[in-house]
């Protein structure tokens, strides 16, 4: 990977030619159903959570409201976005046919069934957990099958992370069904997400930055991978794994701060200020910046400095995850439907809404002792964050259900 940046870049950007799909456009590629379904679900689920939090409504979910909210953010909307990305990227990586048609529909319906049973567990708690847990297990199995069939073992770390993510979801269910604390699987899931953003975001951001700069004949293109990137990834791995098993140790705090600093140095190497004219590229740098800030803030909070651990975690969940997922969703939806890779005004509005929502959530007073100000800031945060995903569904939905312009 490090020794072949040009080849890797071409592999990521050039889409293989497959036989034309004669079925509905909506089922031609994984990003179409999963990006649209995830954006609609996320927007509505966040609004429902805030209504539950402020006591405006009540609900009889599979788990208590707090655990339902955590699960559906970590194991509901994120797996759909990961599936949409991987089911679209794997054919590029492997030159193998994409999952499409009836099989893609079945996979999407399995994800949707998990969301339904988590909210309305009419089939019983165990059945709901099994159906929900099966989605990530199936996704991990498919990823490994494609990697093995094509022999692209440089993508094995993605398979490892998706597999670990699937196991983590099962651990969450096992804990929640026994009314035991879910702290460990939550930290493990957050750590897996941090590593995914570090690895995948750390590849996409410099790759598309190089592409943008090269198209404009600009010099000093950032390398896709360097020894410094490897050091940053190792530090992130050590930092989050220490946090998983020793969440209050000084060692975890120190390693997380070092990992965050290394991630921010890595970000600076890519020269994001040079792409300020194209928000579609700039947003990737902003999203990765949230990852570095999260690691520093979480480490500092463990050392008793700055944010509380809860607010630090929201730098990852609302900031990094929200920004980076929408950055990938918008770019992929444009590129894979034959549209120019350029952020129009509504796309810029999506980016602004998710980042404003993240900032408000992070700065909101402690929700454990809610005040009128807490409710107001959480409400505005939810409107911004949920609004970003609902605006994506409104603006990009027609693209996702229609044939590509280049067909």
Residue 399 has pLDDT above 80, yes or no: yes
Q: For residue range 305-342, list pLDDT tens digits in order.
A: 988 888 899 999 999 999 999 999 999 999 999 999 99
**Token digits of residue 90:** 């794997």
Q: How far apart are CA 383 and CA 399, in angstroms?
A: 24
Please report where in the chains the tokens 């579609």 appear, as a residue.
Answer: 280
Q: What's the rounded Cα separation, in Å, for the pair 144 and 159?
A: 6
- Looking at residue 4, its pLDDT comes to 38
DSSP letter, residue 155: G
d(CA 33, CA 263): 32
Q: Which of 214-228, 274-288, 360-374, 383-397 has the lowest mean pLDDT?
A: 360-374
Mean pLDDT of the 37-53 span? 91
Which pLDDT value is given to residue 248?
Answer: 93
Residue 7 has pLDDT above 60, yes or no: no
* pLDDT recorded at residue 8: 38
What confidence score (pLDDT) does residue 116 get? 95
> Residue 403 in 3-state DSSP?
coil
Residue 11 pLDDT > 60 = no
Q: What's the average model confidence in pLDDT over 385-407?
A: 94
Higher pLDDT, 189 or 52: 189
User: What average pLDDT does range 270-277 have in this prediction?
Assistant: 94
Q: How far apart are CA 244 and CA 292, in angstroms?
A: 18
pLDDT of the residue at 273: 94
- Identify the three-state secondary structure at position 111: helix
3-state secondary structure of 272: helix
pLDDT of 403 > 60? The answer is yes
For the chain, which domains are there?
9-14+26-401 (1.20.210.10)
Model confidence at 105: pLDDT above 90? yes
Which pTM was predicted? 0.91
Give tens-digit pLDDT for 153-206: 999 999 999 999 999 999 999 999 998 999 999 999 999 999 999 999 999 999
The pLDDT value given to residue 310: 85
Long-range contacts, 247-251 (Cβ 8 Å, 24+): 247/183, 247/187, 247/302, 247/309, 248/302, 249/302, 250/302, 250/303
Q: Which residue has the tokens 């699937």?
A: 166
Query: What average pLDDT does range 104-125 have in this prediction?
Result: 94
What is the C-alpha separation between 274 and 329, in angstroms, rounded? 22
Which spans in 4-124 are helix H?
A: 5-13, 31-53, 65-72, 78-94, 102-119
> Whole-angstrom Cα distance, residue 330 to residue 32?
11
Is the predicted pLDDT of residue 277 greater than 70, yes or no?
Answer: yes
């Amino acid at each position: 990977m490090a020794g072949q940046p040009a080849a890797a870049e071409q592999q990521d950007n050039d889409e293989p030619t497959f036989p034309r799909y004669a079925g509905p456009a909506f089922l031609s590629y994984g990003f179409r159903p999963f990006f649209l379904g995830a954006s609609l679900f996320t927007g509505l689920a966040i609004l429902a959570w805030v209504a539950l939090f402020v006591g405006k409504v009540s609900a009889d979910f599979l788990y208590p409201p707090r655990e339902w909210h955590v699960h559906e953010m970590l194991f509901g909307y994120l797996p759909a976005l990961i599936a949409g990305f991987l089911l679209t990227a794997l054919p590029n990586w492997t030159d193998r046919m994409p999952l499409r048609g009836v099989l893609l529909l079945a996979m999407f319906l399995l994800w949707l069934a998990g969301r339904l049973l988590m909210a309305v567990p009419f089939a019983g708690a165990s059945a709901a957990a099994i159906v929900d847990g099966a989605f990530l297990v199936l996704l991990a199995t498919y990823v490994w099958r494609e990697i093995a069939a094509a022999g692209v073992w440089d993508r094995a770390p993605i398979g490892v992370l998706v597999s670990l993510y699937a196991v983590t979801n099962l651990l969450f269910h096992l804990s929640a069904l026994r009314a035991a604390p879910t702290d460990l699987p939550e930290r493990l899931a957050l750590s897996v997400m941090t590593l995914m953003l570090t690895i995948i975001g750390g590849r996409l951001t410099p790759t598309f930055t190089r592409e943008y700069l090269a198209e404009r004949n600009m010099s000093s293109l950032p390398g896709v991978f360097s020894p410094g990137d490897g050091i940053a990834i190792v530090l992130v791995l050590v930092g989050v794994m220490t946090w998983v098993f020793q969440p209050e140790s000084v060692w975890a705090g120190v390693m997380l701060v070092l990992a965050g600093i290394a991630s921010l140095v890595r970000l600076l190497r890519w020269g994001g200020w040079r792409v300020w004219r194209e928000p579609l590229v700039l947003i990737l740098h902003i999203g990765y910046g949230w990852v570095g800030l999260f690691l520093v803030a979480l480490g500092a909070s463990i050392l008793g400095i700055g944010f509380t651990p809860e607010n630090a975690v929201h730098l990852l969940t609302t900031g990094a995850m929200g920004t980076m997922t929408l950055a990938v969703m918008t770019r992929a939806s444009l590129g894979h439907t034959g549209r120019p890779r350029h952020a129009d005004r509504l796309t810029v509005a999506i980016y602004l809404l998710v980042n404003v929502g993240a900032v408000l959530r992070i700065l909101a007073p402690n929700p454990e002792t809610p005040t009128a100000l807490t409710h107001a800031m959480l409400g505005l945060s939810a409107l911004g964050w949920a609004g970003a995903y609902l605006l994506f569904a409104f603006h990009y939905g027609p693209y996702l259900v229609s044939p590509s312009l280049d067909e």
